Amino acid sequence: MDIVPIKTVYGEDKSWDEICELDSADVCKRTCSTFSKTEEGYTVKSFGIEFKVFPCDRKIECHQPGGELFLGKFKDFFRLSVLWYFASAKEIPFSDCLVKPTDVKGGHRFSTGTHVLPLDAIAERFGKDPEAFVRHAEQYGAERTKGLGDVAVRFYPLPRVPVTMLLWKEDEEFPPRVDMFFDSTCEFQISLSDIVWAVAMMCALVMLEE
């Protein structure tokens, strides 16, 4: 599928400027990251991969396998998601109350046009092989979650923003289906609906990677 660039009035320049001025100790607590005074940068995990964020140099780096996907192909989604998260994340626990992306403020846009998440394509790919669904998700840091769907996995695109994906496998009566849920606290962590969509889209797209 074609990747539609994210468009938001909250651009990169404003994000970098804000984060550069923030207290590093507070940022670390809010974002579950670490800060290196010598490097003047943060280390944060996304999809099981460690990324280094250097606000005052306006750059994000990764020296681990898999990082090139997010800094390259998915960069329009990834960079703004990380920057918004660093600027706005809150030090609060998960609620364990799951909500669909369409249920967050402004999320009605996810049901039409280019904002529709490619969940049907994921269902078509893995509908007959739920274990392959789990194995593929685990490559991107996801963990298997019990008690939801036929199988379910939980991604951590950002440390305080878990995303749960459920697969209902194909059977004689019903076609396969995939559902996606955020923890309800996502609206405190990445309150802009464009960023919620970007995070959701990354979680969907990694499941379509070869």
Enclosing domain of residue 27: 12-88
Specify whether 77 is located in the same domain as 110: no
**What strands, in cross-sheet order, belong to the sheet with 177-183?**
98-99, 177-183, 161-168, 151-158, 143-144
HSE of 5 in the Cβ direction (CA atoms, 13 Å)? 6
Specify whether 186 is located in the same domain as 105: yes
Specify whether 136 is located in the same domain as 154: yes
pLDDT, tens digit (0-9, with 9 covering 90-100), for 28-68: 999 999 999 999 999 999 999 999 999 999 999 999 999 99
pLDDT, tens digit (0-9, with 9 covering 90-100), for 159-186: 999 999 999 999 888 999 999 999 999 9
Specify whether 129 is located in the same domain as 179: yes
Q: How many domains, the chain?
A: 2
Residue 165, phi then psi, degrees to nearest 5: -125, 125
Q: Helix (H, G, I), strand (E, B), or coil: what is residue 144?
A: strand
- Cα separation, 62 vs 49, in Å, equals 8
